[in-house]
């Protein structure tokens, strides 16, 4: 587990691949919307697409605001309330 992004609005934790757990076979990401107090865990193809999109985003040296805007694209998928963080 590795915290790869942290702003006032969002945090992103990367989980490395774990061949013993099907849900983490290719790794995964937990995205937390701090203001909305909700989160999502993405794995599999969605995690691979997220990784690809993040690599494209960081190649352009984005600002924190641009990264937060990108992460905002996942807001509609976040349904898990954050209870402890």
pTM of the model: 0.85
Look at residue 72 and tell me whether its pLDDT is greater than 90: yes
Res 23: pLDDT: 63
Extents of the domains making up the chain: 2-81
Look at residue 69 and tell me whether its pLDDT is greater than 90: yes
Is the separation of the CB atoms in 83 and 75 below 8 Å?
no
Look at residue 84 and tell me whether its pLDDT is greater than 70: no
Res 38: pLDDT: 94
DSSP 8-state class, residue 10: E
């Amino acid at each position: 587990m590795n915290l790869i992004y942290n702003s006032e609005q969002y945090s992103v934790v990367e989980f490395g691949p774990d061949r013993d757990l099907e849900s983490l076979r290719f790794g995964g990401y937990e995205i937390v919307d701090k203001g909305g107090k909700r989160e999502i865990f993405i794995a599999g193809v969605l995690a691979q697409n997220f990784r690809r999109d993040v690599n494209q985003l960081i190649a352009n040296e984005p600002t924190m605001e641009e990264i937060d805007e990108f992460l905002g694209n996942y807001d509609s998928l976040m349904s898990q309330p954050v209870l402890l963080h």
